[in-house]
Amino acid sequence: MSARARLLLCLAAVAVIAVFFAVACTEMPAAGGDHHPYGDRAVAAALAHRTANTVSAVNFDLRAFDTLGEESILFGTVLGATLLLRLARDERRRPAPSEHVLPSTRLLGTALLPVALVVGVYVVAHGQLSPGGGFQGGVILATALHLGYIAADYRVLEKVRPLAVLDVADAIAAGAFVALGIAGLAAGGAFLKNTLPLGTFNQITSGGTVPLLNAAVGVEVGSGLIVLLAHFLDQAVEISAGDGADRPPRPHPDADHRTDRRADHRTDPQEEP
Amino acid sequence: MGPWPYLAAGWVLLVALYGMVTSRNLIHAIGCLAVAQSSTYLLLLSVGYRHDGTAPVFSDVKPGSRPLVDPVVQALALTDVVVGATVTALLLALTVQLRKRHGTVDPQALTGLKG
């Protein structure tokens, strides 16, 4: 199909979707109204389980089974990316070059790294009380570690990032979520049922299983993201093509990675007639 | 506010679809997919919005003292963000391999099957 025919087909489909969607929108309750039956029930259920952050209560108590699926997707993605971005037979790994970093960048990164780590742990641990939780805190933890890349270079990041340990931590955290579900099954008769003592409202021990599930997800997201980013960064910094026959020619095979990256942006000579 | 937030979400989705169809670069297409996904955040959050509502977090708000925005759709938006990030990561990984094996990221330049 030519580009023009495809565009026309797309525009026709877009027009149909736009008309029906617009008509459907005029029939919906106006945005900002007071009618939120599910929200009101979720708030009541969260208060009954003494969880101050209703969003965490929905994710790790009311809809904990959905969250199990969600973190399984994340786990599957880390596996998939590991598989897709592994070192191919005709590629080789060369050590990352050491880089020059401005002293101010180095100072700021070194000072911020421990702060970011503490913030990440705080956000995970207080997920049942204040905005945040395992997913958000895990991302902060993963980002914190990469301040090492900004403050120094890739070699330092590789030293502070034990990939084998993180791979195992990722799997154990994903399994811990299921184990907590089975514990609920054994104690209360339902998978992922909140069976632990609920504690005092607005204290760090409140919410029953919510803080534990938060911690499991925090470890999984943090380690999973670091592993994921590690594979992408390896592609850019360390892995280079060997002498594959069907490989596009690299203009500067022994140039540093910055030149390599620029070469990746070349435009393709084939144009649509 | 009427239906305008919903219509805005629909507009973002359609713009992203147009971008995906006309894209000549897979990285650009993945970016368009991320934009399409962000339209669902807009839709979910406008469904959950309530006038004068505050965040559904009771660490410093007394229960029952103020109207709250809908926490259920916020949790759904969180799920959406995670799924969107994972899909983007997998597609980017595939694009990296495609660039290595076929030497192009233009979907129209990919003609034949190749092992």
ipTM score of the complex? 0.88
Distance between first and last Cα of chain B: 54
Q: What is the pLDDT of residues B49-95, one digit of tens each?
A: 999 989 999 988 888 888 999 999 999 999 999 999 999 999 999 99
Among A14, A25, A248, beta carbon nearest to B17: A14
Minimal C-alpha gap between B82 and chain A (Å): 7
Query: Across residues A87-110, what is the average pLDDT?
Result: 88
CA dist B57 → A26, A75, B69 (Å)? 31, 29, 10
Q: Tokens 């207080």 correspond to what residue?
A: A126
Amino acid, single-letter form, for residue A83: L
Question: Would you say residue A265 has pLDDT above 70?
Answer: no
Q: Report pTM.
A: 0.84
Which pLDDT score, from 0 to 100, does residue A223 have? 95
Percent of chain B with pLDDT over 90: 71
Partners of B104 on chain A (C-beta within 8 Å) are 268, 270
Q: How many other CB atoms are found less than 10 A from the CB of residue A203?
A: 12
CB-CB under 8 Å, B50 with A34: yes
- Please tell me the distance from the alpha carbon of residue A207 to that of residue A228, in angstroms, as a whole number: 31
Does the beta carbon of A18 lie under 8 angstroms from any beta carbon of chain B?
yes
CB proximity list for A25: less than 8 A, separation 6 or greater = B3, B6, B7, B10
Nearest to B28 by CA among B16, B41, B42: B16
Minimal C-alpha gap between B71 and chain A (Å): 5
Average pLDDT, chain A: 86
CB-CB under 8 Å, B89 with A77: yes
DSSP conformation letters of A83-145: HHTSPPTTEEE-PPPP----HHHHHHHHHHHHHHHHHHHHHHHTTTTSS--HHHHHHHHHHHH
User: Both tokens of residue B55?
Assistant: 């965040």
Partners of B14 on chain A (C-beta within 8 Å) are 14, 17-18
Confidence of residue A257 (pLDDT cuts 50, 70, 90): very low
Confidence of residue A180 (pLDDT cuts 50, 70, 90): very high
B91 to chain A: nearest residue by CA? Answer: A81
Question: Would you say residue A113 has pLDDT above 70?
Answer: yes
Minimal C-alpha gap between A38 and chain B (Å): 7
- Please tell me the distance from the alpha carbon of residue B58 to that of residue A201, in angstroms, as a whole number: 9
CB-CB under 8 Å, B82 with A74: yes
Q: Which residues numbered 101-130 in A keep a CB inside 8 Å of some CB on B?
A: 129-130
